[in-house]
Amino acid sequence: MQAIAKKAVVVKSDKEEIVKVYEIGYLLVSSIPKEKVADITVELRNIVTNKGANIIAEEAAEITQLAYTMIKKVGAANIRFNEGYFGWVKFELSGSEIEAVKKAFEENPNMLRSLIITTVRDTTYLGKKAPAIARSEDVVAPEAPAVEAAAAAPVEVPATVEDIDKSIDEMVK
């Protein structure tokens, strides 16, 4: 019985030692003043580093227009946001610590949303290169417009009275 319990503990400790590459993307509320954003970003970075994480890459929070209105519940009120400060941090951390980091991020009063993903060490974010690559070629082939198809079809001209008379004469002959 004891041996089984001991084995289970060993397995658990093995799991804890697994170091993974994580990335946290966060969206801060737009109501915070511009001067304070840098301080809050450092504060969030410290949450990660205090857990013993090794920072690989990061981007400071910048104001971005949101694609849809987000609602944050503050007390009894629902506050709507159309803008937010979006930033991200990529780091290496053991699997056992990530839950604590997630909780700390979610508990931050300025946090609108946060997303933790597992990723790779290499740079995946193209950043400023992305628009150039996106412009380089059309991905979806444009469908042939209906107007062109109509233009290709032979157009029938209505017959005049003279044409009809001529054709009747030819038939009589």
Partner 1 sequence: MNSAKQCFFCQNNIRQIDYKDTEILKKFLNPHGRMVSRKKSAVCAASQRQLATAVKRARFMGLLPFVAR
* Chain contacts with partner 1 (rule: CB under 8 A): 25, 27, 64, 66-68, 70, 84, 86, 88, 113, 115, 117, 119-120, 122, 124-127, 130-131, 133-134, 136-137, 139-141
CA 128 – CA 41 distance, rounded (Å) = 22
Cβ 81 to partner 1, closest distance in Å?
A: 9
Cβ 20 to partner 1, closest distance in Å?
A: 15
| Residue 147 to residues 15, 47, 144, 151, 153, Cα–Cα distance (Å) | 63, 60, 8, 6, 10
CA 90 – CA 85 distance, rounded (Å) = 17
* 126 versus 159: smaller Cβ distance to partner 1: 126
Neighbours of 65 (CB within 10 A): 9
The alpha carbon of residue 114 and the mean position of all alpha carbons in its chain are separated, in whole angstroms, by 12
Collapsed DSSP state (helix, strand, coil) of residue 60: strand
Cβ 171 to partner 1, closest distance in Å?
A: 49
* 122 versus 156: smaller Cβ distance to partner 1: 122
* 86 versus 91: smaller Cβ distance to partner 1: 86
* 47 versus 88: smaller Cβ distance to partner 1: 88
